[in-house]
Amino acid sequence: MILITGAAGYIGSHAAINFLNNGYEIAIFDNLENGHIETIEALKRLGKVEFVKGDLRNIEDIESVFNKYDIDAVIHFAAFALVGESVANPSKYYRNNVYGTLNLLDTMIKHNCKKIIFSSTCATYGEPQYTPIDEKHPQNPINPYGMSKLMVEKIMEDYDTAYGLKSIRLRYFNVAGCDEQIRVGEWHEPETHLIPNILKSTFGNEKTFKIFGNDYTTPDGTCIRDYVNVEDLAEAHRLAYLYLLKENKSDIFNLGTENGNSVKNIFDICEKVLERKIPVQIVERRPGDPAKLFADAAKAKRLLHWCPQRTIEQSIKTAYEYEKLRNN
């Protein structure tokens, strides 16, 4: 059985669907602090899912999962992931993302489970020194969120040396869209991400969409990011798991489309996909946003045989369908 932590959340739930569709039995561990019970219920309708509500900061909670189920490998998503919040409250981030993961890893070692796929992030690179960013780019995170993920990456290296824990660390760039059948999707409260915020401003009394700065050193002045479709990203986790089974060695992969889209591009595509004008205003820059981030994902394509297929238009369409469902 595969244990997926954080599968009540956005990326974790899509990975859970991918594993279920490929015939795996899964156990889910989630504290439901940011995840949703409705997501777990949707997953339970798709296959064999055991759900345990618990918190990685309590080692007994995670110990109980390993006592109850025979876990072959862990796909570890459970984490806090808001940059701004991590700057204001680093304690929350280090306690959960680092200390919580230590509890998980120690429990895995105790139960002789030595395979893990870890959700890392391009935020571990910090301000880019060059683009596209490959896995060899120096890692100098500029906020506690990125630092918490980098710490875990390093801990995993040491746990490999000392205890033989094999980890695949996946560094995501930006993620977009949702399940084509709209069973799960992106549901954050509060929502801070670009695409759902643009889409939200088309519903009811939502406010005008705000572009955070148009004076960056990019062709149209707005920030450039690499938006990978969440179903393509989910597939990379299964491919990483198969790679780990075959190679039995730790490794690191960037996951992105290798295409940059500016905030303005994304906004224009949203207007086109929705066939309507969306109220917009330019405001101050958001602190901590680098001008340009996009991936060199050649290594994942070469070694994992990962080929992201879905377009940004498809991501925006599915994201919109999910928003509509939630606003009904």
Per-residue contact flags (x/-) with ligand UDP for residues 90 to 119, judged by CB under 6 A: ------------------------------
Dist. CA 238–CA 243, nearest whole Å? 9
Q: What is the maximum span of the chain, computed from C-alpha positions, in angstroms?
A: 57
Candidates 22, 67, 140, 192: give the one binding ligand UDP (CB under 6 A): 192
CB 233 within 8 A of CB 175: yes
SS3 272: helix
Candidates 212, 218, 273, 298: give the one binding ligand UDP (CB under 6 A): 212
The CB-of-301 to ligand UDP minimum distance in angstroms stands at 22
Residues contacting residue 41 through CB under 8 Å, at least 6 positions apart: none
Residue 57 in the binding site for ligand UDP (CB under 6 A): no
Candidates 36, 57, 111, 210: give the one binding ligand UDP (CB under 6 A): 210
Alpha helices in 135-189 (DSSP H): 144-163
- By CB under 6 A, which span of 151-159, 181-189, 190-198, 300-308 interacts with ligand UDP? 190-198
Residues 157-176 that bind ligand UDP (CB under 6 A): 174
Nearer to ligand UDP, 256 or 308 (CB): 256
Note the residue count of the chain.
328
Binding-site size for ligand UDP (CB under 6 A) equals 13
The CB-of-200 to ligand UDP minimum distance in angstroms stands at 9
Residues 61-80 that bind ligand UDP (CB under 6 A): none
Candidates 2, 156, 168, 223: give the one binding ligand UDP (CB under 6 A): 223
Other CB atoms within 10 A of residue 84 CB: 13
Dist. CA 47–CA 35, nearest whole Å? 19
Catalytic-residue membership of 130: no
Per-residue contact flags (x/-) with ligand UDP for residues 224 to 253, judged by CB under 6 A: -x----------------------------
Residue of 10, 24, 93, 145 marked active site: 145
CB 124 within 8 A of CB 152: no
- Residue that has been written with the tokens 């439901």 in this structure: 32
The pairing of strands 224-225 and 261-262 is: antiparallel
Nearer to ligand UDP, 111 or 193 (CB): 193
CB 212 within 8 A of CB 206: no
CB 133 within 8 A of CB 293: yes
Residues 266-295 that bind ligand UDP (CB under 6 A): 286, 289
Active site residues: 145
